[in-house]
Amino acid sequence: MSSRLPLAGVLRLGRPSDIWFKPALSAVAAVAPPNLALLALGRLDLAMYTMAGSLCALYAHDRPYAVRARALAWVVLGMLGGLAAALLAASLTRDAVVLVAVGAVLAAVQKVLCDATRIGPPGNVVLTFISSAALFTPQTLDRIPGHLAPAAAAGAWAWLVGMAPGLLRPHGPERRATARALNAAAARAEGQDSADAHAAAVIAVQAARQALPCAAGTSDTHRALERLVVRAEVALAAPADADPVPLRIWARQVRGNRPVPEVADLTGIDTELAAQPGPLWHRLRPLAPLAVRTALGCALAGYASLALGIGRPYWALVTAASLYQADLALTWGRGVQRVVGNLLGVLLFVALVPLAHTGEVALVLCCLALNFGAEALMGRNYWLGSVCVTPMALLITEFAGFQEPGRLITERVVDTLVGALVGLAAAVAVPHRARVVRAERAGPRTLAATGRSREPHPDQRTGDTTEGVRP
């Protein structure tokens, strides 16, 4: 068991993303105006609903802007759909057993749709947190439109925040992806032969190959970027014969808004830039076991929490929903990260409570600071980001009124442990062997030495599966 479910490396910190500050600033820009507006109007009790829309800004930062526009729109609609379903259920019944069952089904649907569409970090967990919290918030049918309206307005604002950088750098995501591919290929050419270096290079080149067709451009910039990705592919196919110096130079030149360096086209080479994914239905069918696992784990975690007398079983439900990765080993690692991050986050909450309880302004500012910290740190390791996410999630529950800290702390700790244990048990009980996503060893097929390699999809690798806020 210890060899299959190791502890070594699970808590190791990775290097920060080269754009770590952009999701962090976007989160603050999306959350601050709605919350400050509610503060000025004296309606912080509606902040949970505006947070639902604002948190949509966490998604799709690596997507070209044409694709990002559609992806963010679907995220906002998905968030509103889950919130509406939860509010409707909460208005029709206060039976906690029924509400946990509804929350488990919603969590399974959100997990499967996020995996099938490959929306990427932060995946299903933010959606599940909002819908699960709404299930256990007192609700009536006549108030639902008034609660969905601020969520929709904040979601529209989050869409604008996500798209705003495109006004200054319309090709920014494609340029960054190409630069990463060139740097990764250069690292291999410089003699970095470790398995991690090879995996990083394959993932970087694959990400660039996916970004460029998504951009669907015919501009000179797009064509020049395609030729640079081909150069990275060729270098990765035969690293011993590649010169890393021009690769590094091109990577630096690609960044910013400077003209993309022109390189000779390698005629006769089939670049085989990333194939488009199949229909959504074809990607949903193999995920049925994952849906069963998620629904079962979330339901059992919620019911275990209820049996222990916890007033907020949705925290156990969300913990279980956050665990499920491509295989059992990754699920185990995520469980360890979740528990460690949440327990340390509870300690940070204890330190912040006296400040946050000095007034509503302090409460809002603490949440904004934690929002920034979560996004800035999540890319290093999930547990580190969770240290900020946990107190933020606890403080969000206080927008409607300050609560007794001891009870919040106890419930969060118990639900974290229950959700992790029960969620892991469900992962063992319902095995799911995810399809291995092929990341071909970059390079033209005419080079006999190229071969193929199997690596995780960029959204499935251990370090980046769930970047972003994780309540």
Q: What is the DSSP string of 374-399?
A: HHHHHTT-HHHHHHHHHHHHHHHTTT
Confidence of residue 434 (pLDDT cuts 50, 70, 90): very low
- 263: DSSP letter: -
Residues 6+ apart with CB under 8 A from 176: 18, 19, 62, 255
Across 95-119, average pLDDT: 94
Could you give the CA distance from residue 101 to residue 118 in angstroms, rounded to a whole number?
26
What confidence category does residue 143 fall into, taking pLDDT thresholds of 50, 70 and 90? very high
Q: How far apart are the first and last CA of the chain?
A: 29
b/e code 109-119 from CB counts within 10 Å (16+ = b): bbbbbbbbbbb
**Which residues pair with residue 3 across a beta bridge?**
none
Distance CA 224, CA 393 (A): 45
Residue 70 has pLDDT above 70, yes or no: yes
CB 180 within 8 A of CB 203: no
pLDDT at residue 446 greater than cutoff 50:
no
Residues 6+ apart with CB under 8 A from 233: 185, 205, 209, 271, 442, 443, 444
The predicted model gives 388-392 an average pLDDT of 94
| For residues 296-311, average pLDDT | 91
pLDDT over 80 (residue 170) = yes
Task: Using alpha carbons, select from 39, 34, 35 the residue that is nearest to residue 160.
Answer: 34
- Does 329 or 388 have the greater pLDDT score? 388
Q: Of 108-117, 280-289, 387-396, where does mean pLDDT reach its minimum? A: 280-289
Per the prediction, the chain carries an average pLDDT of 83
- Quick: pLDDT tens for 345-388: 999 999 999 999 999 999 999 999 999 999 999 988 999 999 99
Residue 235: pLDDT band (50, 70, 90) is confident
CA distance 82 to 4: 35
Give me the mean pLDDT over the 304-321 stretch.
90
Q: Which residue has the tokens 């902040």?
A: 47
> For residues 421 and 288, is the Cβ–Cβ distance under 8 A?
no
**What is the pLDDT confidence band of residue 342, given thresholds at 50, 70 and 90?**
very high
DSSP 143: G
Bridge partner residues of 438 (DSSP): 454
- Of 24-33, 172-181, 433-442, the one with minimum mean pLDDT is 433-442
Supply the pLDDT for residue 245.
87
List beta partners, residue 386.
none
Q: Which amino acid is at 430?
A: V
Task: At 312, list the tokens.
Answer: 């907020």
Lowest-pLDDT range of 237-246, 304-313, 462-471: 462-471
